[in-house]
Structure 1
Amino acid sequence: MFRFAQLGSNLYTGRTSVPFIPRKRLWLSLSAALVVLSLIAPLLMGGLKLGIDFRGGSEFTVSNTASTDIETGEDAVAQSTGAEQTVVTNIAANTVRVQTEQLDDEETLAVRDALQQAYDVEEGDVTSTFVGPTWGQGVTRQALWGLVVFVALATIGMALYFRTFKMSISAMAGLLFTVITTAGAYAVSGYEVTPSAIIGFLTILSYSLYDSVVVFDKIRENTKDLEHNARRTFAQEVNLAVNQTLVRSINTSVVGILPVGAILFVGAMLLGAGTLQDLSLALFIGIIMGTLGTLFVSAPIYAVLRQREPAVREQAERLERGEIEEAAEDEAGEPAEETPGESEGEQEVQPIPRMDPSGRDRPDNGAVV
């Protein structure tokens, strides 16, 4: 713990530094490759596995089962109708949910009877519902519109808050990186895309923006009055700001991952709460990718967008020539030149200003420097 605290202190003061900005080309190249891989992976696996709420289909719920074995339900559906798109989930204690492609009335009765016999339950313990493709298309359309509206409002809001579109564009780039990579990892896992997963995706968008705002606030603080900065260039100040907020970003992500990981691994996988799998998996992956997106995408892109500005380039050139240091010394004040006829021992005696109780300066006669 002491070493971690010391590391945080060294990162904040600049004694230790992770090269986020100096190696921005490397990080952006790796991020771009990860985005491409995330787009290709679902295509290689046949696309995203949409849930019944998006594609439509038939759903059966089997209650009071002595066993919640998933293969039992899959075999029952396959033997009764031969349906290929079958998903069996343990949604609660002694309760199984079976989702299939769209079935007609005869096939629905056949699957219901097969599930009743396979799980050895009463006829009333098996219920069936139907979700039409039109309703599923409506859900898909509303989800896409929600994403578009969220991104648009977030872009405008961040531009107004930071008073520059360059920070807003950089944050949106990190946001897209988070969404695409999370969706790619979600698709590789083989989980269905359900309304709960969409809620998880929207939640991680908010987390990604929150992390970006924290880092960009520090960047804005470090780079204000850049033309008078005699210590570091713009790129160096951005890199320092990212390092100064690094410990906070890690702590925030860890605090978010711990409860989500408990839901995913303990609740969903060990206890069998299948309804939590899609939501918790989306959150678990998204929190990690959101943190990486801010550090390795948003901040480097912002540095790239600003480094070509004339003022930023001029400040870097002046700092390299040492002109800002001289200007800083002049502003701090050099000893005044002696006027003709005035010797060192004949300097004027100046009173020391003091403060009266009201807070105004008050000279104290007789006090000398």
Structure 2
Amino acid sequence: MSNVFTRLYVGNGAFDIVGKRTRWYIISGIILLVCLGSMVFRGFNLGIDFEGGTKISLPSVSQSGQPITTNAVEDSFAKAVPGKKPNAVQAVGTGASASIQIKSPALSIAEVSSLKAALAADTNPRGGAGTISDSAVSASWGGEISGKALWALFWFFVVVTLFLAFYFEWRMAVGALVAVFHDVVITAGVYSLVGFEVTPATVIGLLTILGFSLYDTVVVFDKVKENTRGLLGLTRRTYAEAANLALNQTLMRSINTSLIALLPVIGLLVVGVGILGVGTLQDLALVQLVGMFVGALSSIFIATPVLVDLKMRDPKYVTQAKRVAARRAKATSAGASPEVAEGIESVDDETLSADLRKEEAMAAAASVPHRTAKAADNRRGRPTGKRQR
């Protein structure tokens, strides 16, 4: 176990993440199929803001100071409105602001009046019947929110593609978009599978996780770009191995960043839901918790492997990989160690620093054009017949 943590901390490329990318593709593909199947055949548990309906609220404490249970409210609903069932009956808030909310399909004015009278008689809420409030929610508002969210998602993908293609290259843009799409589908699929209620807060939380997923991916890609500069002129490692080394070098950072980002979300979920009982915080925290966790995994196991597969379609990198294999075959026949032959970094700091300095110098030399000496430089040092003063 200590050896694993040492390799994780040193980041010497010992974890072959890119080399086992087929395994990650299969696992990810199975999860995506399950999520897509659930979204198609099971659908989502849409909240009242998307489907429309009636919302009724009453204090959670009776006149006598006894708490009003959700079971008592459900019994009153069944008695007052036979043939209909509430979508949700939940206790929200704490202290003086604690209340019980009923979300149901659209009720007529007569049904609402009958339900409020039954609740007042059965539960006797503190403050009397006047504290029982009702409101009608139109489904058009939820549809408008969904439409704006889809447009925001579309423009997000457009801007991200242009930025990554300009700052990095189009292959990295494709890899990042595949990872973000992967995160959105799995997060939405988890909501469909578990049956979490989809509210406007859920949509907002879904949009916020896109930036987190992209942030971690950009950090890894920046390291890949640094490691592969001048790679075509070198024979130490292939593009896949250089990308895998970049993943290992940023792996500890990715894990730490994800853990630090998840802690406040978990705190929001525990405090906001378990203590305060605020349903909006629950919807926001759940989607962020799932999305951040999936986003951290996709930036490691999806984005860079996709980039490597796209890059290895280029004949130049295929040729370079063959030169690396030929050099290793020659080194193996000469009696070199397997670690040297495979290009795994040394864990010795001095050796690693020397290797990195040599590689950076070779990469810089490969990327800088050869300077042709000027005529004045060529004449420098030749005898001119003049006396030197």
Partner Cα separation in structure 2 for residue 293 and residue 253 of structure 1:
12
Matched, 1:97 2:101: yes
1:190 aligns with 2:195: yes
Code of the residue aligned with 1:52 in structure 2: it is I
Deviation digits for residues 51-101 of structure 1, max 9, x if unmatched?
111111111121353435333333332332232352123221221221111
Q: Cα deviation per residue 1:197-223 (whole Å; 9 max; x = unaligned)?
A: 111111111100101111111111111
Residues 92 and 276, structure 2, Cα contact 8 Å, conserved in 1: no
Mapping of residues 264-283 of structure 1, within 5 Å:
264-283=269-288
Deviates more, 1:71-80 or 1:291-300: 71-80
Give 1:129's match in structure 2, choosing from 126, 135, 156: 135
Structure 2 equivalent of residue 62 of structure 1: 58
| Gaps in structure 2 of 5+ consecutive residues | 332-358, 364-389
Cα 1:113–1:30 shift into 2, 3 Å? same
Corresponding residue SS for 1:245: helix
The 2-side partners of 1:144 and 1:152 are apart by 13
The answer as to whether partners of 1:77 and 1:86 remain within 8 angstroms in 2 is no
Residue of structure 2 in register with 1:115 after alignment: 119
Q: Aligned to 2:46, what secondary structure does the other structure show? A: coil
User: Paired residue for 1:287?
Assistant: 292
Q: Is the 8 A contact 1:53 1:139 kept in 2?
A: no
Gaps of 5+ in 1: 333-369
CA distance in 2, matches of 1:114, 1:213: 58
The reply to whether residue 216 of structure 1 matches residue 221 of structure 2 is yes
Shift of 1:273: 2.8
**What is the SS of the residue equivalent to 1:102?**
coil
* 1:307 equivalent in structure 2: 312
Q: Distance in 1 between matches of 2:247 and 2:305?
A: 10
Contact 1:38/1:185, CA 8 A, preserved across alignment: yes
Map residues 242-261 of structure 1 onto 2, 5 A cutoff: 242-261=247-266
Give the conservation status (yes or no) of the 8 Å contact 1:51–1:192: yes
Report sequence identity in percent.
34
Tell me what 1:232 maps to.
Answer: 237
Name which of structure 1's ranges 211-220 and 80-89 shifts more when overlaid on structure 2: 80-89
Contact 1:263 1:280 in 2 (8 A): yes
Aligned length: 324
- Report if the CA contact (8 A) 2:8-2:252 is conserved: yes
- 2:166 maps to what in 1? 160
- Cα deviation per residue 1:117-147 (whole Å; 9 max; x = unaligned)? 3432111211111112322322222222222
Q: 8 Å contact 1:52–1:131 — kept in the other structure?
A: yes
Residue 168 of structure 1 aligns to a residue in which SS?
helix
C-alpha distance in 2 between matches for 1:85 and 1:224: 61
Q: Following the alignment from structure 2 to structure 1, what is the Cα–Cα distance between the partners of residues 155 and 90? A: 33
1:55–1:263 CA distance, 2 compared to 1 (3 A) = same
8 Å contact kept, 1:166–1:302 = yes
Q: 1:86 to 1:24 in 2, by over 3 A?
A: same
State the partner residue of 1:80: 80
Query: How much has 1:302 moved relative to structure 2?
Result: 0.7
Q: How far apart in 1 are the matches of 2:130 and 2:148?
A: 35
Secondary structure at the counterpart of residue 45 of structure 2: coil
CA distance in 2, matches of 1:69, 1:158: 54
Identify if the C-alpha distance between structure 1 residues 74 and 150 changes in structure 2 by more than 3 Å, giving closer, same or farther: farther
Q: Residue deviations 1:158-196, cap 9 Å, x none? A: 22221x111111111111111111111122222211111
CA–CA distance in structure 1, aligned partners of residues 303 and 68 of structure 2: 45
| Equivalent residue, structure 2, for 1:49 | 45
1:235 is displaced (CA, Å) by 0.5
TM-score normalised to structure 2 length: 0.77
